Amino acid sequence: MPPHPVHRAPHPISRRRLLGGAAAGLAGTGLAAGLVQPAAADEGSVIVDGVKITKVKNLTGPDITGKFGLHWVDLGAVARCPDGRSIYVFGDSFGPAWGENWRSPTALWSSTRNLATGVEFNGTPGGDWAKQLIPYEHGDEISTIIPSDVITIGNKIYLHAVVNQGFGNVIWSGIWVSKDNGENWEDSGARFPGAAYDKRWQLASWDIGADGWLYVYTSEFLRESTMILHRVRPWHITQPEKYQPWGKKNGRWRWGAEPTPLSDDIIGENSLRRFGDKWLHTWFDGPRYRIDCQVLDHPTQDLRTTPKFTMLHGTSWGNQDVNHLAQLYGSYIIPGSRLNDVHLTVSQWNTGDNSIYHVMQYRFEGLGHWADRA
């Protein structure tokens, strides 16, 4: 049993509405969550437009990560630690039973380098039982803190997370810093107001370009907005006033202008990573109920004219296959990926009965070649 008291999630309904809402349109078919017995996603492979898509494995679940006290988790934003391990950061986490010992964010470490064999976890901040990385009580002041991305710069890890006062009511986002590979975290004091830029400064994903700038894509936590871009010097990552917005003014794009949406897509959980002279951006598109990606020359390019590839489609629980998943969300690029061999963490939650609430590993081979042809 856990070494600390049981805390139950008091108000799961609004969170269900967000994470299960994309599947709501399936209700009329009789195949929405909870109306049929869930079938597991197919662990085979399929080729779409020359890209081979494979479900590698389930990464979390009672029989997999329950030994760390993380029986039920989602998300899984990932970065390489200074010591060479990778740290996977999860959102609302429970265990042993659903709703018990509510923590968020939590994390696991992995030393897996051969991603094709499947990621294995070998430790957690907190010792034998995963601790909540940020000290706070789930209550009226802060209901939960949800991670959006994590990055290592030098010998420090930076965690961007969204602070909710009632799920979906984002009061601010912040950055926490670890100097010991993710075991302990300090509040940097960075505050990104929840209402800033029409709520488009809430969720974030980032990476450092060849020019030394940190490029940051941001959007609304509730998956109701388009995306904007900032850049900042890595040593100013915890200083919001140093972030330079990218916007269109007098017909010309420039740094320092009021930020202009980069595309018309609605951006949910997302991951921006650089691969040499190319970039990959993956995101969950709630309205279209799918995970998409774009291969970029640079984060500032015109995303409206950049080809998109649908990595995974949403479907109902009775109709899953390799690249069609029920109640999917997330999409975080795993370190060690290459542009033609990308691995993602993908989440799934059966909001009908909570029988499935886990993170999976998916592999996509050939995205670079697809982009060359597109």
pLDDT at residue 371 greater than cutoff 80: yes
What was the pLDDT predicted at 6?
36
What was the pLDDT predicted at 9?
43
Note the pLDDT tens digit of each residue in 63-115. 999 999 999 999 999 999 999 999 999 999 999 999 999 999 999 999 999 99
Structure tokens at 73: 């988790």
Amino acid at 348: Q
Structure tokens at 173: 């986002």
Average pLDDT of the residues of the chain: 91
What was the pLDDT predicted at 34?
38
Mean pLDDT of 365-372: 95
What was the pLDDT predicted at 18?
56
What was the pLDDT predicted at 374?
79
pLDDT at residue 25 greater than cutoff 50: no
Mean pLDDT of 124-152: 97
Domain ranges of the chain: 13-373
pTM, full prediction: 0.92
Band of pLDDT at residue 37, cut at 50, 70 and 90: very low
pLDDT at residue 131 greater than cutoff 50: yes
Distance separating alpha carbons of residues 61 and 362, to the nearest angstrom: 16
Distance separating alpha carbons of residues 316 and 352, to the nearest angstrom: 12
Band of pLDDT at residue 28, cut at 50, 70 and 90: very low
Band of pLDDT at residue 22, cut at 50, 70 and 90: low
CATH of domain 13-373: 2.115.10.20
Distance separating alpha carbons of residues 108 and 130, to the nearest angstrom: 8
pLDDT at residue 132 greater than cutoff 60: yes
CA nearest to 34, candidates 44, 23, 43? 23
Note the pLDDT tens digit of each residue in 201-247. 999 999 999 999 999 999 999 999 999 999 999 999 999 999 999 99
Measured distance between the N- and C-terminal CA atoms of the chain, rounded to whole angstroms: 53
Distance separating alpha carbons of residues 260 and 158, to the nearest angstrom: 26
Of 212-216, 289-293, 336-340, 369-373, the poorest mean pLDDT is in 369-373
